Amino acid sequence: MTYTLTCIHLPENAPEQAKYAAGELRYYLSLMSGKPCPITADPVENGVILEQTDCPALGEDGFSLIPEEKNIRICGGKRGIIYGAYELLEMLGCRFFTPECEKVPVQQKITLALEKEITRKPVLEYREHNYTDLRRSPRFAVKSRVNGAHHVIPEKLGGYLSYAWYVHSFERMVPPTVHGKDHPEYYAMLADGTRPQTPERFQLCLTNPDVLEVSIESVRAALKANPKARIISISQNDWHGNCQCEKCLAVDREEGSPAGTLLRFLNAIAERLEPEFPDVVFDTLAYNYTRPAPKITRPRHNVCVRLCSIEACFAHPFETCDDESRFVSRPDGSRASFITDLQDWGKVSGRNYIWDYTTCFAHYPAPHPNWHVLQPNMKAFVKNNVRGVFEQANGAIGGGVDMNELRAYLITRLLWDPDTDLQKHLTEFTDYYYGEAGEFIREYIETLCGKAEKDNIHAGFNDNPVSALYDEKMLDIYDAILEKAEKAVAEDALRCRRVQKVRLSIRWVRIKRAGMLRHEHNAEEINAFYTDWFSFGLTRIDEWVSPQSTLRALLDDKWRGTEYLEHWSAEGGEIL
């Protein structure tokens, strides 16, 4: 049946999320038709009816579009009602590519064919990445259907899944500044018998019963201070150094992984605090030395394990990559691939989350050959009992040049539906965002990924641009493709500027390789690059240091500005 949409029905006592959904529908339907689209509590014909519901089958994120005799009804949870409104707009041809780039077709008479009910509910309960566009624009984050902690979405717009603590929380649980002097035994013993307590360079002795009691009180206090928090992370610091005392090592060996020691500790906290906080999920990391799954201990029903892929190759799908150099070690001396650990955790844990990586953090501009792995990896997550994914991205405040806008868009589509037609979304985005240059942008992506696949070139999250992906021959090929892209939109100032932004990737890799591999520093090229870099509002070139420190490292023939620091995070956050 074909419906003509001219108005919106909203009950007078509708929740604020339904009111927001109605306002968004009114705006876009009016923009499409050039005619007013009233919102009314009266009965309507030829309209959209919004009904916010607490239906358990839909949850907070699910929705249904229901064809009725004279209207289309949208039912959904507190976020689902908003998602349903955007789904209807997308069915009408709207696309929400970035906060500043939306495609809204003109239709003098807005009609939609809907023959049967459509119900959507995401496989993943938790969906998150940290690209700057979604962090700075809650409205765009809702359009993208993410709901994680980096997206501080107001309740009016559906809210988000908030953390009381967000990973690497041992220092908050048992701070050395409070307990270190009187109780050094609380902290992990290294192989040399020392127990370091410097910030971010210590772990805990997880078999010490006093550490458990102190931790329980710290976690209780954090949850009381954050009553709206749905999750709290009880997880190791971002360092190695797990405890080598006899008791901890005995459990590690028994479990076949230090994850077993951590999980026993976490289960005890989750069990003790569940009566006070029955709706809270207690989260931890399977990261570095805790990545392999334990043989014996299983997570409690209120425990979540977040598996991290930091060691993996991102140029090939996890299920087929053959790069054994990126395996991690177990206590018995054997080594495990990421996909093996993912499969093992999927067998033993009822709720798994993922911390995945989507860029080169050491060299943000470097072309990252992960375009072909985004979908197969997301499917592998879901196949192995994963219920939430965080895709850690280029989080620089000013964004990046490796087509961050496109990658962010594709990732959000996959987080919502891992089986989506990703090629369709890629084509739609590139054709609209880059205009006549779109076909060449796609050629550039295919050339980059094709080189990695044909020559089996691996790529990690922090690799320097020294592989054959970035030799002078390949850089010339990429440049030639992007030059064709720029010429194709030479008369389109906006899209030409967007292509020029992409070309900064190749310019940076040439400059960096010239300095590091040949000790050549062309002042004019470096000066022009930095001038253009800042003209786009871009900020960091490296995750952990300012562009000024990156320039200093370039001229000193160092790969990264972090080489000047005692700890890679010592320079601190971005200052604009």
Same domain, 100 and 166: no
Q: How far apart are CA 498 and CA 496, in angstroms?
A: 5
- Please list the alpha-helical segments (H only) found in 176-296: 176-179, 209-225, 246-255, 258-273
On whether the CB atoms of residues 547 and 541 are closer than 8 A, the answer is yes
Residue 379 located in a structural domain: no
Tally the domains of the chain.
Answer: 3
Q: Give the pLDDT of residue 332.
A: 86
Do 78 and 85 meet the contact criterion of CB atoms below 8 Å apart?
Answer: no
**110 and 181 housed in the same domain:** no
Q: Within a domain: residue 155?
A: no
- Establish if 513 belongs to a structural domain: yes
pLDDT recorded at residue 567: 87
In this prediction, residue 193 carries a pLDDT of 95
Ranges of residues in the chain whose predicted pLDDT is under 50: none
N- to C-terminal Cα separation, the chain: 54
The CATH number given to whatever domain includes residue 48 is 3.30.379.10
Judgement on whether residues 82 and 200 belong to the same structural domain of the protein: no
In a domain, 323, yes or no: no
Q: Rounded to an integer, what distance in angstroms lies between the CA atom of residue 190 and that of residue 107?
A: 68
How is residue 526 written in tokens?
């470096």
Q: Are residues 436 and 550 in the same domain?
A: yes
- Bridge partners of residue 304, in order along the sequence: 283
In this structure, the answer to whether residues 455 and 523 fall within a common structural domain is: yes
| Boundary-marking domain end, from 308, 337, 360 | 308
User: Taking a C-beta distance cutoff of 8 angstroms, is the pair 389, 127 a contact?
Assistant: yes
Quote the pLDDT of residue 198. 84
Q: Provide the residue type at 12 as one letter.
A: E
Regarding whether 288 and 173 lie in a shared domain, the answer is yes
Q: Which domain holds residue 61?
A: 2-121
Tell me, yes or no, whether 317 lies in a domain. no
Q: Is residue 74 part of a domain?
A: yes
d(CA 82, CA 157): 8
Q: Single out the residue in 121, 145, 171 at which a domain terminates.
A: 121
Cα–Cα nearest to 243, from 254, 258, 257, 260:
258
Task: Indicate whether 294 and 192 sit together in one domain.
Answer: yes
Distance separating alpha carbons of residues 564 and 570, to the nearest angstrom:
10
24, amino acid identity: E
Is residue 205 located within the same domain as residue 290? yes
Residue 179 shares a structural domain with residue 280: yes
Q: How far apart are CA 49 and CA 52, in angstroms?
A: 10
Q: Residues 170, 98: one domain?
A: no
CB 227 within 8 A of CB 280: no
Q: For residue 179, what are the contacts with CB-CB under 8 A and spacing of at least 6? A: 186, 214
The residue among 276, 308, 340 that closes a domain is: 308
> DSSP class of residue 77?
-
Residue 407: inside a domain? no
Indicate if 560 and 511 belong to the same structural domain: yes
Q: Output the CA–CA distances (angstroms, integers) from residue 267 to 1, 104, 185, in the order listed.
A: 53, 50, 22
Please state, in angstroms and rounded to a whole number, the distance separating the CA atoms of residues 318 and 459. Answer: 12
Q: What percent of the chain has pLDDT over 90?
A: 96
Q: What is the CA radius of gyration of the chain?
A: 26
CA distance 406 to 554: 29
Output the pLDDT for position 576: 83
Same domain, 551 and 458: yes
Burial of 272 (0-12, 13-18, 19+ CB in 10 A): middle
- Residue 340 counted as domain residue: no
